[in-house]
Structure 1
């Protein structure tokens, strides 16, 4: 082969290689976009969102209602719920989106309610 034909073959090789690579990457982008669309559709139908709640008490019913009133007087910005989980009553509040938000609130709450803990919950 002479130098002229080699000079013509090399650029053609690179053009063919680049077009194959480009077609492959577009195919992968289409797959990724399809997966993102499927995930969005799944999230719309399945509303199991993980949130973080703070539990300030678990024990008997009488004490639970007393602590609930006391807590709501001390921290009126939070709405508490009493949940009966056999054999104990639990007082929880908050639907924090991240663990960091819950921990920030926990630091303030722990000054008066030392036994408070952060729990993960699905809503």
Structure 2
């Protein structure tokens, strides 16, 4: 059985087309993988992590420090900070990684500090 020149030419053309398509798709996949790696590197350098804090007080400086001392006496295992954001002083507890963790601590301290709330913050 002989193959006509037209069929042979068509088969060669089809094979070449498929090989070019395959090379192009591999090239595109490599570009996509490269972009994903660049994005990962960027995210590591420019980390904007969200943390959760419990705010115990928002008001004047004297009361903020009183609440800090009172909290430290009752719950020394948690870190507490006084932050000044004009025009008020804030007494805040911890940097919790998850909202669930912050809510658990809030439930523990809610009896002594009824006005406490969980806030989301970027670091």
- Place the TM-score, normalised by the shorter chain, in its bin: 0.7 to 0.9
The answer for the alignment partner of 1:60 in structure 2 is 60
When residues 66 and 42 of structure 1 are mapped into structure 2, their CA distance, relative to the original with a 3 A threshold, is same
The answer for the alignment partner of 1:12 in structure 2 is none
Counterpart Cα distance in 2 of 1:94 and 1:32: 40
How far off its partner does 1:31 sit?
5.4
Runs of 4+ in 1 over 4 A off after TM superposition: 26-32
With the length of structure 1 as denominator, give the TM-score of the two structures: 0.72
When residues 104 and 27 of structure 1 are mapped into structure 2, their CA distance, relative to the original with a 3 A threshold, is farther
Q: How many residues were matched structurally?
A: 115
With the length of structure 2 as denominator, give the TM-score of the two structures: 0.72
Instruction: Describe how 1:41-80 pairs up with structure 2 within 5 A.
Output: 41-80=41-80
Q: What does the per-residue CA deviation read over 1:29-77, in whole Å, with 9 as the maximum and x for residues that have no partner?
A: 6455334312221122212211111111111111111110000111101
When residues 32 and 101 of structure 1 are mapped into structure 2, their CA distance, relative to the original with a 3 A threshold, is farther
Counterpart Cα distance in 1 of 2:100 and 2:57: 21
The answer to whether residue 77 in structure 2 is matched with residue 87 in structure 1 is no
- RMSD across aligned positions (CA): 2.9
- Secondary structure class of the residue paired with 1:48: coil
Structure of larger gyration radius: 2
Counterpart Cα distance in 2 of 1:103 and 1:27: 48
